[in-house]
């Protein structure tokens, strides 16, 4: 039975909600009894999500996740208009293929600021209200790329690994506060973010399918939501290998 089973509509806040997984998750939650607020930097994209959802179920608030004050203000506005935030999904993310031979600090820091710091800012913004209510659910959308360092993805893998570790560590404290924590680790999902990839993407999942899996996992209160299982299990196995085996196998598998 869903931990959110109730006659009262619950409020969810999704960052990176204008496209990809965030957009589809907003629509998925909206059709299953949630009041959803989507955030992102582009108001036009957010408005399109609102229009695609059942009338009155999704609203939009433009917000840059790298701006801590803006995130705090956004959370406060949501609480004033919708009541307590029951579920916060910090999903905003960027990815750029990265060749370490031409190491670019700006790309590394941009990725960390959006993916990791953006989630940190989100936690900061919703934690006071959830702590006071001794209730709430915080979900970080990481990636299977965070299980180990991946070729051509150094900044992305590093940011997602940091998100996984952060969520694991916070769970011990948040459990005592009555706050549920979830880390979402998708594989390849068909989104605007992955369209730029010029390499094969095994077990590619459509964004609406990903959204359904995430929604079901969130409502079940799972700590980890990972998919597709075949890719997740392969990479979880690779995570256990010693470096002497991991690097040769990864080179063979990716040609790197």
In whole angstroms, how far apart are CA 124 and each of 130, 181, 250? Answer: 11, 14, 37
Q: Which contacts of 62-70 are long-range, i.e. CB under 8 A and separated by 24 or more positions?
A: 63/15, 63/39, 65/15, 65/16, 65/39, 65/90, 65/92, 65/114, 65/117, 65/118, 65/119, 65/121, 65/122, 66/113, 66/114, 66/117, 66/118, 66/121, 67/121, 68/121, 68/124, 68/125
Cα gap 229→152, rounded to integer Å: 23
Catalytic residue flag (residue 156)? yes
Cα gap 77→60, rounded to integer Å: 11
Single out the catalytic residue among 4, 147, 156, 243: 156
Cα gap 250→46, rounded to integer Å: 38
Q: Do 10 and 133 form a contact (C-beta atoms < 8 A)?
A: no
Which three-class secondary structure state does DSSP give residue 36?
A: strand
- Residues with catalytic roles: 156
């Amino acid at each position: 039975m869903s931990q959110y089973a109730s006659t009262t509509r619950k409020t969810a806040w999704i960052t990176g909600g204008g496209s990809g997984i965030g957009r589809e998750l907003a629509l998925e939650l909206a059709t299953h009894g949630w009041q959803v607020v989507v955030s992102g930097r582009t108001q036009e994209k957010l408005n399109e999500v609102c229009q695609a959802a059942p009338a009155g179920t999704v609203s939009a608030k433009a917000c840059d996740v790298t701006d801590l004050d803006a995130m705090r203000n956004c959370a406060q506005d949501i609480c004033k208009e919708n009541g307590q935030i029951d579920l916060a999904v910090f999903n905003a993310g960027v990815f750029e293929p990265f060749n370490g031979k031409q190491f670019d600090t700006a790309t590394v820091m941009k990725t960390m600021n959006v993916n990791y710091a953006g989630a940190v800012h989100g936690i900061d913004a919703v934690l006071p209200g959830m702590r006071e209510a001794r209730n709430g659910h915080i979900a970080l959308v990481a990636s299977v790329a965070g299980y180990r360092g991946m070729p051509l993805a150094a900044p992305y893998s590093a940011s997602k690994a940091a998100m996984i570790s952060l969520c694991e560590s916070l769970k011990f404290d948040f459990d005592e506060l009555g706050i549920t924590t979830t880390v979402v680790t998708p594989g390849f999902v068909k989104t605007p973010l992955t369209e730029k990839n010029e390499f094969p993407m095994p077990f590619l999942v459509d964004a609406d399918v990903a959204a359904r899996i995430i929604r079901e996992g969130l409502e079940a209160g799972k700590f980890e939501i990972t998919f597709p299982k075949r890719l997740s299990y392969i990479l979880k196995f690779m995570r256990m290998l010693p470096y002497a085996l991991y690097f040769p196998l990864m080179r063979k598998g990716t040609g790197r």
